[in-house]
Amino acid sequence: MSDFKHVGPSVRELMHKRFCRVDGLTLVDQAIGLLRGQDAVALLIEKRDRDDEYGLVTLVDIANRVLAADRAPERVNLFEIMTKPVLCVRADMRALYCARMLRSFDLSLALVEEGDEIVGIIDQQALVLGWAR
């Protein structure tokens, strides 16, 4: 029988902040420069207004939707390749449940929110490596 006394770390304890906040009109070549300069792995596309949702562009999105598709990075806006809406999880969610949620939706990452603010990103790498501490 499973012992639920140890519920594991929270998402807040494992998340990272390796993302840049950008406008959807940003060109992919500019975004690559931001990612390089800030050692980031994802781009959070800001909401246009309070009724909008966040978008997200990852390195994999750029590789698959721009480079592999032979599109010119200086001619493609992020809004053309972003994923929107993006799954958000609470910062106080247990990592175990976050991992299950990502598996259920066949996703590799989610935005982490606290209140109405995006405070980080949780991905499978952070979940696995953080859990093993």
For 56-83, how does the pLDDT look when each residue is reduced to its tens digit (9 = 90+)?
Answer: 999 999 999 999 999 999 999 999 999 9
CB 120, CB 15: distance < 8 Å: yes
Task: Over range 38-66, report the average pLDDT.
Answer: 95
Give percent of the chain above pLDDT 90: 88
Distance CA 125, CA 99 (A): 11
| pTM given for the model | 0.87
Mean pLDDT for all residues in the chain: 92
Confidence of residue 41 (pLDDT cuts 50, 70, 90): very high
Distance CA 120, CA 13 (A): 11
Distance CA 64, CA 59 (A): 9
pLDDT at 131: 76
Confidence of residue 1 (pLDDT cuts 50, 70, 90): very low
Which pair of structure tokens corresponds to residue 67? Answer: 């480079």
At the top level of CATH, the class of 11-131 is alpha beta
Bond preceding residue 73 cis, omega within 30 of 0:
no
CB 126, CB 15: distance < 8 Å: yes
Whether 30 shows a pLDDT value over 60: the answer reads yes
pLDDT at 78: 98
- Helices 95-104, 124-131: axis angle to 10 degrees equals 150
